[in-house]
């Protein structure tokens, strides 16, 4: 279902009052789904987006459509939720699409790639650009219907046992880094590891990796990374605005009554906004606590950022030459990103820079 057709039926702001009306749900039978999350239950922000979604679906249908939420590993391992939805082991999943770049690099464009869009730009591409249309075409091969459902906003650059003073310090560095970004780290001489969130602390504590990134201060504090690595870097050049996705099995989606499909879309949109609002509200206080507990905050060096940017662009050109799926989506994505960055120079960038300087 395209967003424009959805908006003809109900506005997001007024949707709950309309969707909860008895006339919509009185004739529907009970429906039970299972949703497999890629995230541990202890991370109330990122895991919680699926719970927010489920609660709204239940409320809007008078309890007739129930979706049970299962944390990473309860039904399938966190990085196997795509297969579980594709094969109808579960009806739905909540995940970060770039986890599956090994199947096709195009998955990463539905989440985040190095030096990509921020969260507002990503939402604009998906909802008002060609993003949803292009990714829906891509997901057909996996028997999946996708919906945006959450964004962390720009992330931090992770935790390090030693200082990263220049790009030379990346050589030989073993780092847990999310999804597709590992390809760029590898080109810089690093050794990437794609480790689920619930296993990162143990790997860092036991020295199997030298560094790790997850999301930002609120989650990172919960996971305890500051206890095993003193240096906290920013920004995460690989995640300017990583978008999470709701995956629904195509047959399960097709079997839903039209009004339930509308409710699912409205609930996913609400969870999408709610998740980032939570991160934006919780991260500032968490960062203050981390610094008070002797975390050493550092900014990545300019030469490292420039080297990573150069390698990213070279990688994208190579992928466009060999992966037609990537080429189709990326060409639209990169044009949209470039226009957004150019526009942002006159709006958010200028305003944010002034405010940052004024409040120093």
Q: Which residues of 317-342 are buried (b: 16+ CB within 10 A; e: fewer)?
A: eebeeeeebbebbbebbbebbeebee
| Per-residue H/E/C for the chain | CCHHHHHHHCCCCCHHHHHCCHHHHCCCCCEEEEEEECCCCCCCCCCHHHHHHHHHHHHHCCCCEEEEEECCCCCCCHHHHHHHHHCCCCCEEEECHHHHCCCCHHHHHHCCCCCCCCHHHHHHHHHCCCHHHHHHHHHHHHCEEEEEEEECCCCCCEEECCCCCCHHHHCCCEEECCCCHHHHHHHCCCEEECCCHHHHHHHHHCCCCCEECCCCHHHHHHHCHHHCCCEEEECCCCCCCCEEEEEEEHHHHHHCCHHHHHHHHHHHHHHHHHHHHHHHHHHHHHHHHHHHCCCEEEECCHHHHHHHHHHHHHHHHHHHHHCHHHHHHHHHHHHHHHHHHHHHCCCHHHHHHHHHHHCC
Q: Which of 10-14, 141-145, 162-166 comes out lowest in average pLDDT? A: 10-14
The reported pLDDT for the residue numbered 13 is 42
Which residue, among 45, 149, 40, has the nearest Cα to 94 in the 3D structure?
A: 149
- Whether the per-residue pLDDT at 356 is higher than 90: the answer is yes
Fold match between 3-152+242-280 and 158-239+283-323? yes
Structure confidence by residue, pLDDT tens digits, 303-326: 999 999 999 999 999 999 999 999
The reported pLDDT for the residue numbered 196 is 82
Question: d(Cα 34, Cα 91) in Å, to the nearest integer?
Answer: 6
- Whether the per-residue pLDDT at 21 is higher than 70: the answer is no
Tell me how far apart the 2 most distant CA atoms of the chain are, in Å.
65
Structure confidence by residue, pLDDT tens digits, 211-238: 999 999 999 999 999 999 999 999 999 9
The reported pLDDT for the residue numbered 198 is 83
Question: d(Cα 333, Cα 21) in Å, to the nearest integer?
Answer: 38
Q: Could you say which architecture CATH assigns to the domain 158-239+283-323?
A: 3-Layer(aba) Sandwich (3.40)
9 contacts 48 by C-beta, under 8 angstroms? no
- Whether the per-residue pLDDT at 98 is higher than 90: the answer is yes
The model's confidence at residue 20, banded by pLDDT at 50, 70 and 90, is very low
218 contacts 283 by C-beta, under 8 angstroms? yes
The model's confidence at residue 28, banded by pLDDT at 50, 70 and 90, is low
Count CA within 13 A, CB hemisphere, residue 201: 11
235 contacts 132 by C-beta, under 8 angstroms? no
Question: d(Cα 115, Cα 225) in Å, to the nearest integer?
Answer: 25
**Chain centroid to CA 169:** 28
Q: Name the CATH code of domain 3-152+242-280 (choices 3.30.830.10, 3.40.190.170, 3.40.50.300, 1.10.287.470).
A: 3.40.190.170
Rounded to the nearest 10°, the torsion over CA 273, 276, 277, 280 is: -160
Structure confidence by residue, pLDDT tens digits, 243-268: 999 999 999 999 999 999 999 999 99
The reported pLDDT for the residue numbered 313 is 98
Q: Please state the domain extents for the chain.
A: 3-152+242-280, 158-239+283-323
Q: What is the pTM of this model?
A: 0.90
């Amino acid at each position: 279902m395209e967003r424009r057709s959805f908006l003809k039926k109900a506005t997001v702001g007024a949707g709950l009052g309309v969707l909860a009306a008895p006339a919509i749900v009185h004739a529907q039978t009970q429906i039970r789904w299972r949703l497999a999350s890629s995230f541990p239950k202890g991370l109330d922000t990122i895991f919680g987006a699926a719970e927010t979604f489920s609660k709204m679906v239940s409320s809007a249908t008078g309890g007739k459509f129930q979706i049970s939420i299962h944390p990473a590993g309860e039904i399938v391992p966190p990085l196997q939720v795509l297969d579980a939805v594709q094969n109808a082991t579960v009806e739905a999943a909540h995940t970060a699409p770039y986890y599956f770049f090994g199947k096709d690099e195009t998955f990463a464009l539905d989440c985040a790639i190095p030096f990509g869009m921020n969260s507002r730009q990503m939402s604009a591409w998906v909802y008002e650009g060609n993003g949803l249309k292009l990714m829906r075409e891509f997901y057909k091969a996996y028997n999946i219907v996708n919906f945006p459902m959450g964004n962390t906003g720009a992330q931090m650059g992770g935790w390090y046992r030693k200082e990263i003073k220049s790009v030379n310090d990346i050589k030989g560095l073993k780092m847990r880094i999310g999804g597709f970004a590992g390809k760029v780290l590898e080109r810089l001489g690093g050794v990437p590891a794609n480790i689920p969130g619930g296993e990162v602390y143990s790997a860092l504590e036991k020295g199997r990796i030298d560094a790790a990134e997850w999301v930002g201060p609120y989650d990172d504090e919960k996971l305890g990374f500051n206890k095993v690595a003193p240096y906290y870097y920013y920004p995460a050049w690989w995640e300017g605005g990583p978008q999470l996705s709701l995956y629904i099995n195509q047959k399960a989606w097709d079997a839903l009554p039209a009004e339930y499909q509308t409710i699912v879309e409205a609930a996913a949109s609400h969870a999408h906004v709610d998740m980032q609002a939570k991160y934006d509200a919780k991260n500032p206080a968490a960062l203050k606590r981390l610094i008070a507990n002797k975390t050493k905050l550092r900014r990545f060096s300019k030469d490292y950022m420039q080297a990573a940017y150069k390698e990213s662009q070279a990688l994208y050109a190579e992928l466009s030459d060999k992966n037609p799926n990537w080429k189709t989506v990326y060409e639209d994505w990169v044009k949209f990103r470039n226009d957004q960055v150019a526009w942002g120079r006159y709006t958010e960038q200028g305003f944010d820079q002034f405010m940052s300087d004024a409040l120093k």
